[in-house]
Structure 1
Amino acid sequence: MNKKELAAHCLTQTGAREDYPFGPDPLVMKVASKMFALISDEGGFDNIALKCEPETAYLLRQQYAAVKPGYHLNKQHWNTVVMDGTVPDEEIRAMIDHSYALVARKLTRAEKQSLGL
């Protein structure tokens, strides 16, 4: 998957939107005011940082060399996936969905209602 495909899948989530709070890079995907994905390129590869349950984050890092602790993020709760082709697209989509679900779950009742969640 490339940056466009990653962003397109993120935008399939209810209420997801693009933002650039840190300048032109990274592209930050948010639901309400909270980010659930950061998409950028580093070292010649696109990458995506995603929120993850700590145990799952650890297991994914053990399973895939391209999954690393979140770059400039809480390394217990965020993974960065290097898009080098070694992680199946279905797995990446599932990681995006998981990240969105974790973040959406923490929204306020009013934010959830405004998004229809």
Structure 2
Amino acid sequence: MDGAEVQRLAAEYAEGLPGSGLERPFGPEWDVHKVRGKVFMLVTEVTGEPMVILKSAPDESAVLREQYAEITPGYHMNKKHWITLHGGGALDRGLVEELVTDSYRLVVEGLPKAQRPVDPATYGRRAGAGG
């Protein structure tokens, strides 16, 4: 899947998440996806290459970067808590959707309970899937 496909898939998936909204506070070259005003995904081609930037748990982001050449530290973000997805053969629809869901869930966890559109402990988790 090339970078443009990764962007399209991630954006389409993010649009369907409860409470998700798209903004462009940094101009037309940045699509910023938020839940209750908090960023969970950025989509851009500002470097000339299509990329998707997602929040990730520090331990998981390290493992993902080791496993996939297409996943690097977050562009212009805290490298410990954010990852960047680039186009490449190893990324597939399931992984992209899972990473978008994980980013969304991490941000929702940080919201006051009254503002959470979903329960982050259970939302998007497959039956029998751990952490």
TM-superposed CA distance for 1:13, in Å, is: 0.9
* Maintained 8 Å contact 1:45/1:84: no
TM-score (norm 1): 0.89
Say whether residues 1:57 and 2:61 are aligned partners: yes
Greater strand fraction, Structure 1 or Structure 2: 1
From the superposition, tell whether residues 94 and 116 of structure 1 become closer, same or farther in structure 2 (CA, over 3 Å).
Answer: closer
Aligned to 1:94: 98
Superposed CA offset, 1:57-101 (max 9, x none)? 000000011100001100000000102343122111100000000
Partners of 1:66 and 1:102 lie apart in 2 by 21
State the aligned residue count: 115
TM-score (norm 2): 0.80
**5+ residue gaps in structure 1?**
none
5 Å-filtered alignment, 1:54-93, equals 54-93=58-97
Partners of 1:2 and 1:87 lie apart in 2 by 8
Q: Alignment identity in percent?
A: 32
**5+ residue gaps in structure 2?**
120-131
* Maintained 8 Å contact 1:52/1:77: yes
* Maintained 8 Å contact 1:29/1:36: yes
* Maintained 8 Å contact 2:20/2:34: yes
